[in-house]
């Protein structure tokens, strides 16, 4: 990858900064721990490292991670730990891990919840100063998002894909989730299925002759988030029709990243997101997405001449 930071416009830099949480351990890549750790170490040395977010791993595999990482770290890594059904024990393990500070810190945990009682269970055991991303199914967003407490580091997580077409939520469901996050001022991240900048039909796995399906794009989703965030901050109703149009827009020509703004031209009247608003949106609202590949998103960005 030869793209230099100097070739990146200010708005694109803000849009992509720390956007991609590396999740190489998970499908469809599913690489082993040593390979995943070595990949992340290599990405940290690339010119595009400013777009690299946290290293994502299951909390249950922390010991394995430490063995793989002990000879590659030069400064503490930022981790996000996936919590399984064993919530109490794994959150205790997160606290113990961070107290020892062994070349890495678990800044956030991610846990799937289906009810208010499950949220309360996580709250009770969550280590101090740890962000939590509650993975919420789109159909439960209206019920659970208003109960989250962003002031205490509580955020939402939306699963946007998988290794089968059924795992990809419809545009309408993503639209409603993002709109409700904006209306309740709950920051969020997404996970899975966002390998490509714009929505497209691609193979769903890396296997030969893999099934193809329609995938969502990270430019689509985070631009829609910027539109929703801007509407909320200006006191306007979040425009769900516009969000849906943006999420379904596969036209490269409709995106322009300038030095002072991002402009999306998929509507009759182009929508312009000024640099300060874009920066606030990324730091306070649409935080990151998990991807099992850090390089694939940049390959596509170069092919589309965004970089």
Confirm whether 246 is domain-assigned: no
Alpha carbon 213 to chain centroid, angstroms: 21
Confirm whether 65 is domain-assigned: yes
Q: What are the b/e assignments for 244-263, b being 16+ CB within 10 Å?
A: bbbbbbeeeebbbbeeebbb
For the full predicted model, state whether its pTM sits above 0.85: yes
Confirm whether 34 is domain-assigned: yes
Confirm whether 295 is domain-assigned: yes
Residue 43 structural domain: 5-218+287-303
Least-confidence region, from 63-72, 188-197, 259-268, 289-298: 63-72
User: Quick one: average pLDDT of 90-105?
Assistant: 92
For residue 92, CA distances in Å to 65, 99, 104, 124, 280 come to 17, 11, 16, 11, 33
Look at the chain and report how many structural domains it folds into: 1
Distance CA 175, CA 202 (A): 22
For position 170, which CATH number holds? 3.20.20
- Report residue 138's pLDDT band, with 50, 70 and 90 as the boundaries: very high
pLDDT surpasses 80 at 59: yes
Q: What are phi and psi of 91, to 5 degrees?
A: -70, -35
Confirm whether 261 is domain-assigned: no
Least-confidence region, from 12-26, 62-76, 95-109, 282-296: 62-76
Confirm whether 238 is domain-assigned: no
């Amino acid at each position: 990858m030869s793209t230099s930071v100097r070739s990146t416009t200010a708005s694109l830099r803000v849009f992509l900064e720390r956007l991609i949480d590396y999740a190489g351990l998970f499908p469809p890549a599913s690489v082993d721990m040593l390979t995943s750790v070595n990949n992340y170490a290599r990405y940290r040395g690339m010119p595009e490292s400013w777009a690299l977010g946290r290293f994502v791993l299951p909390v249950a595999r922390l010991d394995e991670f430490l063995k793989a990482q002990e000879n590659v770290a030069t400064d503490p890594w930022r981790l996000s730990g996936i919590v399984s059904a064993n919530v109490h024990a794994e959150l205790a393990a997160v606290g113990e891990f961070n107290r020892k500070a062994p070349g890495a810190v678990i800044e956030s945990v991610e846990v799937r919840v289906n009810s208010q009682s499950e949220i309360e269970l996580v709250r009770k055991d969550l280590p101090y100063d740890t962000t939590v991303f509650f993975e919420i199914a789109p159909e439960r967003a209206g019920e659970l998002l208003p109960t989250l407490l962003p002031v205490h580091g509580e955020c939402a997580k939306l699963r946007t894909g998988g290794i089968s077409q059924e795992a990809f939520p419809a545009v309408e469901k993503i639209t409603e989730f993002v709109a409700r996050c904006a209306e309740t001022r709950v920051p969020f991240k997404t996970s899975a299925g966002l390998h490509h900048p714009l929505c497209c039909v691609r193979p769903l796995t890396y296997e030969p002759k893999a099934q193809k399906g329609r995938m969502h794009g990270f430019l689509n989703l985070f631009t829609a988030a910027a539109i929703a965030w801007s509407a909320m901050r200006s006191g306007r109703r979040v425009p769900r029709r516009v969000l849906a149009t943006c999420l379904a827009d596969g036209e490269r020509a409709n995106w322009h990243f300038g030095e002072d703004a991002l402009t999306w031209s998929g509507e009759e009247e182009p929508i312009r997101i000024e640099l300060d608003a874009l920066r606030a949106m990324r730091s306070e609202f649409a935080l990151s997405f998990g991807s099992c590949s850090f390089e694939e998103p940049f390959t596509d960005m170069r092919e589309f001449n965004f970089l």
